[in-house]
Chain A
Amino acid sequence: MIKRSFIGLTEPKLKCDLVEPGPKEPEAIPIPPRLILLLNEPLDSTKEILVKKGDMVKKGERIFLYKESKEYVSAPVSGTITTVAPFTGDFGELATYLVVETNAKQDIDKSFTESISIPDIQTANSYLRGIAGNPPLKLLAEAADGAKSNGINIKKIIISGIDQDILCTTRQFVLTRFRDELSKSVAFLKQLTGINDISIVMPDALATLSAFNGMNIVKISSDYVDSLSPMVMDKYLGIPFIPNKSCEELGVCFISIEALFSLVKSYSEKRPVYEKIITIIDKKGKKSRVSATIGTPIHRIFTKIGVETAEKDRIIIGGPLKGVAAYTLYYPVTPDMDTLMVQDSSIIPTISDYPCINCGKCVRICPANVPVNVLVRYLEANLYQDAADSYDLFSCIECGLCSYVCSAKIPIFQYIRLGKHELNKIELDMIKEAENV
């Protein structure tokens, strides 16, 4: 953990880690006997469910919950479904939790293999969602299909070779490891999506590698917030950030470098790629990399590479500033899980219920000039609409630095996310109501 320096006159500058020179190959984690899959659709007892306990699935087969379902999850192995249960995400998102017991005999679902003669975004969307890296296929397919685009018009694709948090290096590893395949992959992406405006963002230290000559590269500094998508757009690409509008609404689609390579590999090997590369950071800060099948419970990874966890430790998915904490070692590897971090219970910082003392550290460090000191007072009082109207709630780019420096240890970042979440929920409810009328 990076602590405050003795000289506190200047604000702390957090740097993103660079991938180590000459990285080792990731250690392959064997396919476990049980896999856990998360399907992004809630269970609804009023509908007739298609998946049942005891159903057999083939490797690569898509699992739909209901007849009319659009969401699916594809099985990385062939096996038997043993559990279908509801699952609740971090902000109350409802999903379904499936456990697949691996069969000794692996049957392969051929429907993808048979339908991929030419790369086409609609086919990719119907078969390859949820492959390693989680490519935004649904978004791209809907944007390409005018009828479903909801006004989203993707004009530019950004391949992201930068990691989203300060200790993460997975994307940088993938970028350097497979750098020779990059130009071929970009050409493939152009063919697949029909979008020709493609840039690759990467840390400036890696951009000097000769493999990247002649490509449309955007060099990003290693300062922490520069790696976040709104900053990349505003500062490096000259696309002004608009509060409460996502990058997609501004016509830009981000795809992680790993997702791109998975797509290319899925087409060249004629099978969906489920092997996700994950950087593991143990309690001492030592990094190692593994390649695990999506759905592998994380305790399998920890046991395999010898990372120990004890009572009251914290398991962090993602980095130290933006990640989420997992409550169980049976949490599965998900398509977008780049980093796993274990924090020892003795160094977990506490939070407090102190009020803001107006020391101003958050305002000085905020990259988005949000008046955090006033904002947090409104958010504490649940005045979310006032916070958004007068105190720039939606200008926040969610970097987490305000909570990192807060002397009073107020969970500011959580208040901000909660405020945004509540307001978006109200907006969605209003849209739904208007539709019903």
Chain B
Amino acid sequence: MFKQNKFTVSHAPFWHDGDSIKEMNLNIMAAALPAILFGVIQFGMAALGVMCLSIASAMAWEALFCMAAKRQIVIHDYNAAVIGMLFGMMLPATIPWWAVITGTFVCVIVGQQIFGGIGANPFNPAVIGIAILTLSWKHLFDFDTALVNYQLAFTALDPLAALKHQGPGVVEMFPLSSLLMGSQVGAIGSVFGIGIILGGIYLIIRGYIRWEISIAYIAGIIITAWIFNITDPAKYATPMFHLFTGYTLLGAFFLANDSSSSPINLIPMFIYGVMGGFMTILIRNIGVYPDGTVYAILLINLINPLIDKIRPKAFGKGCKQCVK
């Protein structure tokens, strides 16, 4: 009677489905593993070094910023690790160490923390980092010079740069099967098409990314590239070539899907994805940059808040009886 147990008192619901941000991020990292492992095998220890430095420095920047801002340090949710990992996947294997550390600073601090941290970033942080780095040190992202010392068993040319400079005649030099199997010059995590697709499908099945965005993005790429291709095949490459080169697949399954900068309603997701694919091909075919994925994703991140207002009517709204 006198010794009473103290009970946990809180509000409903008393159940939870057991999911967490950490779980989500671990799954994203697991899904990216095949592509990264392939990159490490293809480009050697240098690639592993870049990946490790990128992930580690991203986490360190987040921890440092949280300390400076007197926030709770939450690097154990692997949010910064995922940003660092995606950033590292988009880098050439030979990039200097200072560029990686500067890049992750831009990603984590400028891309996310100054907006308020996780969930508040208007753009995909990793894409912000890559965009600023490519603008600042353009030569570092010239994959042909970056990988000039490698002895590769396939055409050692960056497919998209070759396309830009020499026209669609080069497409024949890159058979689709070898592009898919990773026999191409490119960034650490973006060359192995099959690996990225498998990872993406895994994430879709687990429900950690929204399939509508990935499918719409790929559809946008294929449709736009196909329209360009049939109007002038001598000037524009085939859709499949665009799909399996550059950051396209990475964009479709990992970059465009960043949860806080992408829409969540059905129609907006399709608009967002298709717009992304459309802009990518527009920049590649008409713009000056060989690969438009990065800027296309920043552009669709920008329109996300606006288009995400297209949503179904809430329960009981829009009926005749409604007074207001």
A349 near B18 with CB under 8 A, answer: yes
A310 near B5 with CB under 8 A, answer: yes
B118 near A407 with CB under 8 A, answer: no
Number of A-B contacts (CB under 8 A): 189
Closest chain B CB from A239 CB (angstroms): 10
Chain A 293-328: CB-based contact to B (< 8 A → 1; otherwise 0)? 000000000000000011111111010111111111
Among A309, A356, A414, point to the contact of B119 (Cβ < 8 A): A356
Is A30 engaged at the interface, CB distance under 8 Å to the other chain? Answer: no
Q: Which residues B275-324 have CB closer than 8 A to chain A?
A: 311-317, 319-323
Closest chain B CB from A274 CB (angstroms): 25
Q: With a CB–CB cut-off of 8 A, which chain B residues contact A4?
A: 17-19
Is A106 engaged at the interface, CB distance under 8 Å to the other chain? Answer: no
B119 near A327 with CB under 8 A, answer: no
Count of chain B residues near A, Cβ 8 A? 50
User: What is the chain B residue whose CB lies nearest that of A12?
Assistant: B17
Closest chain B CB from A360 CB (angstroms): 3
Q: With a CB–CB cut-off of 8 A, which chain B residues contact A119?
A: none
Closest chain B CB from A411 CB (angstroms): 6
Q: Which of B129-137, B188-196, B206-214 contacts A (4 or more CB under 8 A)?
A: B206-214
Is A188 engaged at the interface, CB distance under 8 Å to the other chain? Answer: no
A312 near B207 with CB under 8 A, answer: no
Chain A 395-420: CB-based contact to B (< 8 A → 1; otherwise 0)? 10100110111111101011001000
Is B44 engaged at the interface, CB distance under 8 Å to the other chain? Answer: no
Among B206, B314, B322, point to the contact of A8 (Cβ < 8 A): B206
User: What is the chain A residue whose CB lies nearest that of B316?
Assistant: A241
Q: Which of B56-64, B240-248, B258-266 contacts A (4 or more CB under 8 A)?
A: B258-266
Q: With a CB–CB cut-off of 8 A, which chain A residues contact B227?
A: none
Q: With a CB–CB cut-off of 8 A, which chain B residues contact A434?
A: none
CA of A10 to CA of B205, assembled, Å: 9
Among A3, A321, A355, point to the contact of B13 (Cβ < 8 A): A321
Is B6 engaged at the interface, CB distance under 8 Å to the other chain? Answer: yes
B7 near A327 with CB under 8 A, answer: yes
Among A364, A367, A414, point to the contact of B315 (Cβ < 8 A): A367
CA of A350 to CA of B120, assembled, Å: 22
Is A369 engaged at the interface, CB distance under 8 Å to the other chain? Answer: yes
B15 near A404 with CB under 8 A, answer: yes
User: What is the chain A residue whose CB lies nearest that of B261?
Assistant: A358
Q: With a CB–CB cut-off of 8 A, which chain A residues contact B234?
A: none
B314 near A370 with CB under 8 A, answer: yes
Closest chain A CB from B271 CB (angstroms): 15
Q: With a CB–CB cut-off of 8 A, which chain B residues contact A318?
A: 12
Known A-B contacts A9-B205, A325-B14, A349-B16; the reply to A314 vs B9 at CB < 8 A is: yes
Among B116, B204, B311, B316, point to the contact of A9 (Cβ < 8 A): B204
Closest chain B CB from A16 CB (angstroms): 14
CA of A62 to CA of B132, assembled, Å: 76
Closest chain B CB from A224 CB (angstroms): 11
A325 near B7 with CB under 8 A, answer: yes
Q: Which residues A7-27 have CB closer than 8 A to chain B?
A: 7-10, 12
Most buried by B among A4, A351, A357, A417: A357
Q: Which residues A343-365 have CB closer than 8 A to chain B?
A: 343, 345, 348-349, 351, 354-361, 363-364
Is A242 engaged at the interface, CB distance under 8 Å to the other chain? Answer: yes
B7 near A354 with CB under 8 A, answer: no
CA of A242 to CA of B117, assembled, Å: 38
A405 near B264 with CB under 8 A, answer: no
Known A-B contacts A343-B14, A395-B314, A395-B316; the reply to A360 vs B5 at CB < 8 A is: no
Is A2 engaged at the interface, CB distance under 8 Å to the other chain? Answer: yes
Q: With a CB–CB cut-off of 8 A, which chain A residues contact B149?
A: none
Q: With a CB–CB cut-off of 8 A, which chain B residues contact A315?
A: 7
A358 near B264 with CB under 8 A, answer: yes
Chain B 1-45: CB-based contact to A (< 8 A → 1; otherwise 0)? 000111111111111111111011000000000000000000000
Q: With a CB–CB cut-off of 8 A, which chain B residues contact A414?
A: 11-12
Q: With a CB–CB cut-off of 8 A, which chain B residues contact A10?
A: 207
B8 near A345 with CB under 8 A, answer: yes
User: What is the chain A residue whose CB lies nearest that of B311?
Assistant: A371
Is A234 engaged at the interface, CB distance under 8 Å to the other chain? Answer: yes
Is A83 engaged at the interface, CB distance under 8 Å to the other chain? Answer: no
Q: With a CB–CB cut-off of 8 A, which chain A residues contact B204?
A: 9
Closest chain B CB from A297 CB (angstroms): 11
Known A-B contacts A363-B264, A407-B24; the reply to A312 vs B18 at CB < 8 A is: no
User: What is the chain A residue whose CB lies nearest that of B320?
Assistant: A240
B15 near A8 with CB under 8 A, answer: no
Closest chain B CB from A397 CB (angstroms): 7
CA of A355 to CA of B314, assembled, Å: 23
Q: With a CB–CB cut-off of 8 A, which chain A residues contact B206?
A: 6-9
Q: Which residues B70-107 have CB closer than 8 A to chain A?
A: none
Among A328, A361, A400, point to the contact of B12 (Cβ < 8 A): A400
CA of A312 to CA of B5, assembled, Å: 7
A400 near B13 with CB under 8 A, answer: yes
A413 near B316 with CB under 8 A, answer: no
A243 near B15 with CB under 8 A, answer: no
Among B5, B17, B120, B311, point to the contact of A313 (Cβ < 8 A): B5
User: What is the chain A residue whose CB lies nearest that of B264?
Assistant: A360
Is A116 engaged at the interface, CB distance under 8 Å to the other chain? Answer: no
Q: Which residues B212-262 have CB closer than 8 A to chain A?
A: 259-262
User: What is the chain B residue whose CB lies nearest that of A243?
Assistant: B316
Q: With a CB–CB cut-off of 8 A, which chain A residues contact B311?
A: 369, 371
User: What is the chain B residue whose CB lies nearest that of A353?
Assistant: B72
Closest chain B CB from A379 CB (angstroms): 14
Among B205, B312, B319, point to the contact of A240 (Cβ < 8 A): B319
User: What is the chain A residue whose CB lies nearest that of B305?
Assistant: A374
CA of A241 to CA of B317, assembled, Å: 9
Chain A 88-116: CB-based contact to B (< 8 A → 1; otherwise 0)? 00000000000000000000000000000
Most buried by B among A8, A230, A240, A309: A8
Closest 8 CB pairs of A and B: A8-B207, A360-B264, A368-B315, A349-B16, A392-B314, A395-B314, A400-B13, A357-B119
Chain A residues packing against B (C-beta within 8 Å): 1-4, 6-10, 12, 230, 234, 240-243, 309-316, 318, 320-329, 341, 343, 345, 348-349, 351, 354-361, 363-364, 367-371, 373, 392, 395, 397, 400-401, 403-409, 411, 413-414, 417
Chain B residues packing against A (C-beta within 8 Å): 4-21, 23-24, 116-120, 204-208, 210-211, 259-262, 264-265, 311-317, 319-323
Taking A240-B316, A314-B9 as given, write out 11 further A-B residue pairs in contact, using a Cβ cutoff of 8 Å, ordered by the A residue number: A6-B206, A322-B12, A329-B4, A329-B5, A354-B119, A358-B119, A364-B264, A392-B314, A395-B315, A407-B20, A417-B11
Can you spell out 29 A-B residue pairs with CB atoms less than 8 angstroms apart?
A4-B18, A8-B207, A9-B204, A9-B206, A234-B315, A242-B322, A314-B8, A315-B7, A316-B14, A322-B13, A325-B8, A348-B10, A349-B14, A349-B16, A351-B10, A354-B21, A360-B264, A363-B264, A367-B315, A369-B311, A369-B312, A370-B315, A395-B316, A395-B317, A400-B13, A403-B16, A405-B17, A407-B20, A407-B23
